[in-house]
Amino acid sequence: MSWKSVCKLDDLPLGGLTVVTIDGVEVLLARSDKCVTAMPPLCPHMKEPLVNGVFDGENLTCLKHLWQWDVKTGESLGEAEKPLCQYQLRVTDGHVDINMAEELKYEYEA
């Protein structure tokens, strides 16, 4: 386990997407009143930055080809053909940490 301090929970906007860099690795954070999750920043499909996508508090949609996921679980919805990877995340005393044992990456076709 390699827990890294990210930020205060209140630094993350409600209903928003935020990219942070931890030890040189970019991580996308999504926060709503239902969940807080951390994931790799690029779409598993064609590397589109997911921070440019739409997050409605539950579902995240990449705007390039409209792949969509349940952010709480990372499960695919609709057009998506691959699930989202997620980092382990914990909130302690209003502070967010994530487990960065290794950088999560998707396999892309050439």
Partner 1 sequence: MSTVAGESPQAKQSADNEVTGRLSKQWSARLPLPDSHLVDTRIYTDPAIFEQEIERIWHKTWLPVCHESELANPLDFRSSGIAGDVPIVIVRGTDGKVRTFLNVCPHRGNLIVRKARGNLSVAEPSGNSNHMTCMFHGWQFNAEGRCVEIPRERAGYQDRVCKAGMGLRQIRTEVAYGGFVWVNLDDDGESLDDYMGGIFDYMKVELESEPLEVFHYQKVVINTNYKYFHETGREFYHDFLHYHNRQTGMMQKGYFDRKYVPYKNGHCLIGLTISQYKAYQGYEDRGLTFPGMPKNGWKGIGLFPGITFNLRSSCLRVNFMTPISENRVLIEVRGLGLKRDDDETRASRIRDFNTIWGPFGRNAHEDFLAIQTQAVAVRPGSGAKYCVMAREEDDTTHDEIGLRCYYSEWSRRMGRLASDPTRTHP
Q: Which amino acid is at 47?
A: K
The helix (H) or strand (E) run that includes residue 61 is: strand 59-61
> Are 71 and 55 in contact, with CB atoms under 8 Å apart?
yes
Of the listed pieces 8-16, 22-30, 43-51, 87-95, which binds partner 1 according to CB under 8 A?
A: 43-51
Residues 55-84 that bind partner 1 (CB under 8 A): 64-65, 79
User: For partner 1, which residue of 34, 47, 90, 105 counts as binding (CB under 8 A)?
Assistant: 47
Q: For residues 39 and 80, which CB has a smaller minimum distance to partner 1 in the complex?
A: 80
User: For partner 1, which residue of 11, 26, 48, 58 counts as binding (CB under 8 A)?
Assistant: 48
Residue 51 has phi, psi (to 5 degrees) of -65, -20
In degrees, rounded to 5, the angle at the alpha carbon of residue 62 between the alpha carbons of residues 59 and 68 is: 40
> Under the rule (CB under 8 A), what is the footprint of partner 1?
43, 45-49, 64-65, 79, 109-110
